[in-house]
Chain A
Amino acid sequence: MASPSTLHETELVILAQRGDRNAFGELVQRHSRGVLGVAYRLCGESQLAEDAAQETFLRAWLNLSGFHPQTSLRNWLYRIAVNAVTDMLRKDRRLAPQDVDEMDLTDPRPGPESRVARDEGSALVTRAVLSLPEASRAALVLKEYEGLSYQEIAGLLDIPLGTVMSRLNYARKRLKEILQPQLSIYAEVEND
């Protein structure tokens, strides 16, 4: 029998559906980066993102018999990840993203080259994304960070295509408002 790492994803899914844990482990390896990324962008905490990713793969294992190997496993996992993060954030309200008014939107002006300024900038972006409503945040994360098409996002979130567009428009408009000072500095640096 061939090593799982050399098998095509569809073959691995079929093996995993028959209970092959090695095949499932290989699938986890292939998709862990993406799932961890989506989870982190949605919740903003690395430990919570890891827990959510573990929960995602556990749910995937438990429901693997209902998955059609011909469809996109990545999109199916992202769908589970979005639900897992949402459930975790709702279960523990302390982990819910802050309101944007409570955020410390400090100006990273003192030296964009410095690591501190860069870290502050990324923290700011992360917090701004977290301030978005859940629905818009999910659409934005799937588009900006994972590069999914509108059609894929619509299928994944079970919403019409028009709703994907309006959620993305809203998310970007809101982020532009929140990050306006940083965007101006960014534009200046880019122009220089």
Chain B
Amino acid sequence: MTEHVINWINAYLDGELHGRRLAQVESHLDECAECRAELASLQALSTMLREAPLPDFPPAERFAANVVLGLPRKPETSPARKALEIAWWLAPVALTAAWVFVQTTLLLSDWIGAAGRLGLLDKSASAWLVPAVPRETLLSALLLQTGLLGGSGVQWLRSVSAFFGSALAQVIWQVSIGLLYLAWIASWWARLGRRGYGQPLAAGSRPQVK
């Protein structure tokens, strides 16, 4: 006779055995009275357990009505989702603040520069405001010294650097901010739609409470 399958009888009873293991248990049960008795006692136990009745609970509709009455106003949002929503609202605000800061700095810088050129600022203030040597100046000096570029080449490089450093940067900044805002407004609109704002509940959707 094959080895007893007592340890697998529970899984066999629960229909959790498959393939070779199932075949092994079934063939053993055919020839082993001890394991068959174990299976029968487990089946009797299972029937006995299932026959123990439940008490009389309130009807499902009444129970559901009681539960709904005791619910707080809205389902709570998980902390991670809350953080995401705060970040969602803060992202455009932070971008706008950064943009305003950069624009103001540039504007002030232009005004102060103009005031300095007109002699409206004293020397100490001008000295304080004089910017460090621009990068393109250092680069062109280096190119001139090493002989990689001539005078006209350096002039061209300065124009290109000035263009990329001011006009193009401004365009990129503003287009990026504009696109970000459009994307944000579009997804905000989509979120409102998903939440179902503006779609009142049909009267028939009220639960029937007795």
Say which one of A59-67, A68-76, A94-102 lies at the interface with B. Answer: A59-67
Once the chains are docked, how many angstroms separate the CA of A53 from the CA of B76? 19
Query: Contact at A175–B75, with CB atoms within 8 Å?
Result: no
Query: What residues of chain A lie closer than 8 Å to B123, measured between beta carbons?
Result: none
Query: What residues of chain A lie closer than 8 Å to B63, measured between beta carbons?
Result: 28-29, 32, 36, 50, 53
Query: Contact at B57–A183, with CB atoms within 8 Å?
Result: no
B202 interface residue per 8 A CB criterion? yes
- The residue of chain B having its C-beta at the shortest distance from the C-beta of A3 within the complex is B204
Query: Contact at B66–A54, with CB atoms within 8 Å?
Result: yes
B3 interface residue per 8 A CB criterion? no
Interface centre among B49, B51, B206 (most CB of A within 10 A): B49
Query: What residues of chain B lie closer than 8 Å to A16, measured between beta carbons?
Result: 75
Once the chains are docked, how many angstroms separate the CA of A63 from the CA of B72? 12
Query: Contact at B49–A125, with CB atoms within 8 Å?
Result: yes
B53 interface residue per 8 A CB criterion? yes
Query: What residues of chain B lie closer than 8 Å to A32, measured between beta carbons?
Result: 57, 60, 63-64, 67
Given contacts A58-B67, A58-B71, A150-B11, whether A50 and B57 have CB atoms under 8 Å apart is: yes
Nearest CB on B from A20, distance (A): 7
Interface size class on chain A is 35 or more
Query: Contact at B52–A126, with CB atoms within 8 Å?
Result: yes
Nearest CB on B from A144, distance (A): 5
Query: What residues of chain A lie closer than 8 Å to B202, measured between beta carbons?
Result: 1-3
Query: Contact at B65–A169, with CB atoms within 8 Å?
Result: no
Given contacts A25-B207, A53-B63, A54-B66, whether A19 and B75 have CB atoms under 8 Å apart is: yes
A-B contact pairs, 29 of them (CB 8 A): A4-B207, A17-B75, A21-B71, A22-B207, A25-B64, A26-B64, A28-B68, A37-B54, A46-B56, A49-B55, A50-B58, A53-B63, A54-B66, A58-B71, A63-B76, A64-B75, A121-B48, A121-B52, A143-B14, A150-B11, A168-B10, A168-B14, A169-B7, A169-B10, A176-B42, A176-B45, A182-B48, A183-B45, A187-B44
4 closest cross-chain pairs (CB), A and B = A28-B64, A46-B55, A1-B202, A122-B52
The residues of B with any CB-CB pair to A shorter than 8 Å are 7, 10-11, 14, 16, 40-42, 44-58, 60-61, 63-68, 70-78, 81, 194-196, 199, 201-202, 204-207
